[in-house]
Structure formats: C-alpha cells, structure tokens
C-alpha cells in the first residue's frame, strides 16, 4: 500500500525545550525521525512545522518540510493542513508519526497504514502488556478490540477488568490475561483526515484526556494492528533524551 508520512513538529515544549532540534549523533531529532520514516517504504515523508528553525534544519539535511499555522490545537490538525496544502488525493493514506520517536520501527508505520480500508478510515497500533504495574498505570493507555481488531474503547483504566482474579489479588496478571497497550501512531484516509478538525470534541475524550475517543464517539471505526513487541520509548523528558543520545553514540549511525 502506498502511504505518506507526515511528522508534526513544534519547537515549544514545556518539559524539553527545543526538543525537535536536540542533537542525536550529529543530526537534529526531527531529522532522525524522518530518516526512520523513510525506511518504512513511504512514498513521501514531510515534516509539518510552524517554526522556521525546524524547517531550516530539515532543509540542511535534505528532509522535506512544510510550514503550517501556529494555532493548531493538535498534531492531527497540523498534518491535516499539510495534506491540504500539498493537495494530496482524498484516497491517500496519511501516517501521523510524532516528531519525538527517533527509534520507531519503520515496519510499524507500514503495518499501521495497511489497516486503512473502505469503512475503516483510521488505524493505530497496540502491543500486549505483561507487567502488572503497566496494567494499573493510568499513564499507560489501554485499548480493547472487537473480533475484527477494531477499537471498542481506549482508557487509562485497566481494561478489560478481570473481575474474578482482581477480586482476589492485583499483585500479578493472570496467565490468560494480557491487556493491550495503545501505541500513539496513527494512519488515516486523507478524506477522513480533512473532516477530523470539524468533529465536535466528545465528553469521553475530555474525561480521559484521550483525543482518539472523539473518533469512536462519532461512530467511526479505528483498526488496530497488534505488534508482538513494544516499540522503543519516545523522548518526553531529559532522561529520555539522554537514553536516546546514548543509543546513537553506541550505534554510531
């Protein structure tokens, strides 16, 4: 399947200022993310940004970038603008890759894009959890699926709730129980992506602080690709940045 990757990248960050331009082995983080995306087989990789410094950094390394407005409420709105500016066909598949995922497995992008089909305008990914601490951690978002691997619900709560086992103990997970952790990677049909900014915010997303619940609330299907392995963690904190910088020092690429 042909698909386009768009990487939203803002310079402002409360926890890690100038994060997209952080040095990773001699290249800015946003460039490293674009290089990983290019390994996925994407027909095109574009960085979507509202800051000239990010555009210039991309240009210096041969990465395509597109300037956007600065008032977008989310990365999804930002990539929708880019898809419109570039006049992508309405049937194009667009993958939304966060600009702080320099170690993302490129195969995951292709697998996510492949979930888009008639009647399923959006897709994402998940992996199974095996640690009890993760299952009960509200910062670890869980998803439950129907028999066709479409999302029924996303939550910070422990879902599905193992009624009998958890009534006895929450010290470990039952052997037949492995909740799914949501991976924040998305694909859309461009037609749906263009309609997304007009969707009314839902009460569910406001309660859970999970934007993807807006899509389910409005009755649209989200396909979920379940991967066997957890992806490498992104960069949210100075500690995360130090970890990824150490990876590039060891890897040397």
DSSP character for 32? H
Q: pTM value?
A: 0.94
Going by pLDDT thresholds of 50, 70 and 90, the confidence category of residue 173 is very high
- Section 187-211 average pLDDT: 96
8 Å CB contact between 188 and 88: no
144's enclosing H/E stretch is: strand 142-145
Query: For residue range 120-170, what is the model confidence (pLDDT) as tens digits?
Result: 999 999 999 999 999 999 999 999 999 999 999 999 999 999 999 999 999
- Section 204-212 average pLDDT: 95
Domain boundaries, the chain: 3-242
Superfamily of domain 3-242: Spore Coat Polysaccharide Biosynthesis Protein SpsA; Chain A (3.90.550.10)
Give which of 89, 85, 108, 13 is closest to 54, Cα–Cα: 13
Give which of 180, 112, 176 is closest to 142, Cα–Cα: 180
10's enclosing H/E stretch is: none
Q: Which residues are registered as beta bridge partners of 4?
A: 44, 94
- Burial of residue 136, with CB atoms counted within 10 A of its CB: 0-12 exposed, 13-18 middle, 19 or more buried: middle
Pairing mode, strands 27-28 and 4-9? unpaired
Q: Would you state the pLDDT for residue 222?
A: 98
């Amino acid at each position: 399947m042909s698909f386009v990757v768009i990487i939203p990248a803002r310079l402002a960050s409360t926890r890690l200022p100038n994060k997209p331009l952080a040095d990773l082995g001699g290249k800015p983080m946003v460039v490293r993310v674009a290089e990983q995306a290019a390994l996925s087989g994407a027909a095109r990789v574009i960085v979507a940004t509202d800051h000239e410094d990010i555009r210039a950094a991309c240009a210096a390394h041969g990465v395509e970038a597109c300037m956007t407005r600065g008032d977008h409420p989310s990365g999804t709105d930002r990539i929708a603008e880019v898809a419109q500016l570039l006049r992508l066909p309405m049937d194009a598949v667009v993958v939304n890759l966060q600009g702080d995922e320099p170690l993302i497995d490129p195969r995951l992008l292709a697998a996510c894009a492949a979930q888009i089909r008639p009647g399923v305008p959006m897709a994402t990914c998940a992996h199974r959890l095996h640690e009890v601490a993760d299952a009960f951690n509200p910062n670890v978002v869980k998803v439950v699926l129907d028999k066709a691997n479409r999302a029924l619900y996303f939550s910070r709560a422990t879902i599905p709730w193992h009624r009998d086992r958890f009534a006895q103990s929450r010290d470990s997970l039952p052997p037949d129980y492995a909740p799914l952790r949501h991976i924040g990677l998305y694909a859309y049909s461009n037609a749906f992506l263009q309609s997304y900014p007009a969707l009314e915010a839902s009460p569910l997303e406001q309660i859970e602080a999970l934007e993807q619940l807006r899509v389910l609330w409005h009755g649209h299907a989200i396909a979920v690709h379940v991967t066997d392995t957890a992806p490498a963690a992104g960069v949210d904190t100075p500690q995360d940045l130090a970890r990824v910088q150490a990876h590039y020092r060891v890897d040397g690429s």
